[in-house]
């Protein structure tokens, strides 16, 4: 899976909509101190499901919303979209947070749970953390889970497996 585009609105210092195309190969982000390089990487990780405010350098999750400057009022929401491409298929993942209302996720325009996004990236061997950390965490969680929880996880995985079956079907038509 490759990330092809990143769009941000109201996320940290990116108060105005920003649209970044990401080309094949290695991408470097350059610019003066404080211009938002780290914020960009945080936007990627946040959209993939990062939920630790500390790792977003904030005290609470709403700190990712543009907080205002001397000349610009604060925003009520932040939204980031990742357009990814894998196996010739495009998938758009959107995370949005509103003050007082928490986060919502969409995959290809459909409302989904945070879990669905986490599974999507776990399945695609990428994600908010390194691939190894995500898969190790998931394996550990499955092993340590109570039977009922393990069943829920497996059902979740089966739901994603269903998506792949549908994709194969579509490719054969
Ligand atoms: P460096 O080269 O020093 O690592 P950088 O390019 O990585 O800098 P960032 O850390 O991404 O810069 O951006 C820091 C800027 O983002 C600061 O100016 C900070 O005020 C701003 N910022 C962070 N969170 C918010 C927010 N919620 N609202 C508005 N601005 C924010
Ligand atoms: Mg930085």
User: How large is the ipTM?
Assistant: 0.98
Give the integer Cα–Cα distance in Å for 131 and 121: 9
Q: Please tell me the residue having the least CA distance from ligand 1 atom 30.
A: 13
Annotated binding site for ATP: 32-39
pTM for the whole thing?
Answer: 0.76
Q: Are 132 and 141 in contact (CB under 8 A)?
A: no
Say how many Å lie between the first and final Cα of the chain, rounded.
23
More confident call, 26 vs 10? 10
Give the integer Cα–Cα distance in Å for 38 and 35: 9
* pLDDT confidence bin for 130, thresholds 50/70/90: very low
Q: Judge whether residue 42 has pLDDT over 50.
A: yes
* pLDDT confidence bin for 25, thresholds 50/70/90: confident
Q: Judge whether residue 126 has pLDDT over 60.
A: no
Q: Which residues line ligand 1 (CB under 6 A)?
A: 12-13, 31, 33-39, 63, 65-67
Give the integer Cα–Cα distance in Å for 46 and 55: 9
Q: Judge whether residue 96 has pLDDT over 80.
A: yes
Give 128's contacts (C-beta < 8 A, 6+ positions apart): 45, 46, 48, 49, 50, 118, 121, 134
Nearest-atom index, ligand 1, CA of 41:
11
Question: Which two tokens mark 69?
Answer: 């400057």
Output the CA 23–ligand 2 centroid distance in Å: 21
Nearest-atom index, ligand 1, CA of 74:
28
* pLDDT confidence bin for 132, thresholds 50/70/90: very low
CATH of domain 2-172: 3.40.50.300
Q: Are 79 and 96 in contact (CB under 8 A)?
A: yes
Give the integer Cα–Cα distance in Å for 142 and 152: 10
More confident call, 135 vs 30? 30
Nearest-atom index, ligand 1, CA of 29:
6
Q: Judge whether residue 125 has pLDDT over 60.
A: no
């Amino acid at each position: 899976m490759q990330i092809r585009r990143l769009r941000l609105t109201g996320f940290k210092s990116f108060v105005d909509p920003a649209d970044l195309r990401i080309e094949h190969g290695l991408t470097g982000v350059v610019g003066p101190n404080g211009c938002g390089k780290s914020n960009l990487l945080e936007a990627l990780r946040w959209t993939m499901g990062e939920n630790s405010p500390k790792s977003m350098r904030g005290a609470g999750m709403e700190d990712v919303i543009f907080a205002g400057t001397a000349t610009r009022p604060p925003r009520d929401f932040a939204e980031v979209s990742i357009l990814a491409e894998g196996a010739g298929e495009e998938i758009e993942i959107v995370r949005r947070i509103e003050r007082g209302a928490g986060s919502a996720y969409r995959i290809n325009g459909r409302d989904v749970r945070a879990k669905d996004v986490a599974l999507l990236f776990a399945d695609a061997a990428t994600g908010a953390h390194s691939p190894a950390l995500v898969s190790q965490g998931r394996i550990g969680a499955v092993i340590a889970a109570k039977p009922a929880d393990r069943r829920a996880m497996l059902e979740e995985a089966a739901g994603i497996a269903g998506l792949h079956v549908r994709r194969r079907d579509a490719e054969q038509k």
